[in-house]
Amino acid sequence: MDQVLGDARPHTTYLIGRLDRIVRRALEEQLRDFGLTVLGYTALTVLAARPGLSNAQLARRSFMSPQGMNQAIAVLVDKGLIHRTPAADNRRVQQIELTATGRQVVDECTARVEEYEQKLLASLDPAERTQLNTILHTIVNENRQHR
């Protein structure tokens, strides 16, 4: 049992918070060689799945504020991982896409992240992994609708 809490069963939110910190630290370590933060990597993976998003769309899908996304985009542009082009229907809106280098970095980072995830979940059998993923997906979707 958790030494901090003694015999008391920790709240689920406490455990989720601890796991978030553990995962974030590990991901930062995996991404360090690429000069990326977890949020920067998240933005790149979103763009890999949905090229051509605007800053506001990318911010929403990456769980960032538009201001924070502006800073992240500047860093990713400077690193040559993304580029912006004016949208055809509204020249003031910039569409963001991965560069070839950005695609390569996403692929390499994703391989590292997936390897870490396998280690993280090694104590669970395949059915438990599926169940955990389903439960987390349900919680995320339910709470996304109430934002």
Domains and CATH numbers, the chain: 12-144 (1.10.10.10)
The secondary structure of the chain in percent helix, strand, coil, rounded to multiples of 5, reads 65, 5, 30
How far is Cα 135 from Cα 133, in angstroms, rounded to an integer?
6
Alpha helices for 79-125 (secondary structure H): 100-120
Does pLDDT of 3 surpass 60?
A: no
Confidence of residue 6 (pLDDT cuts 50, 70, 90): low
Percent above pLDDT 90 for the chain: 73
Does pLDDT of 11 surpass 80?
A: yes
Average pLDDT estimate for 63-80: 92
pLDDT on residue 119: 96
How far is Cα 17 from Cα 23, in angstroms, rounded to an integer?
10
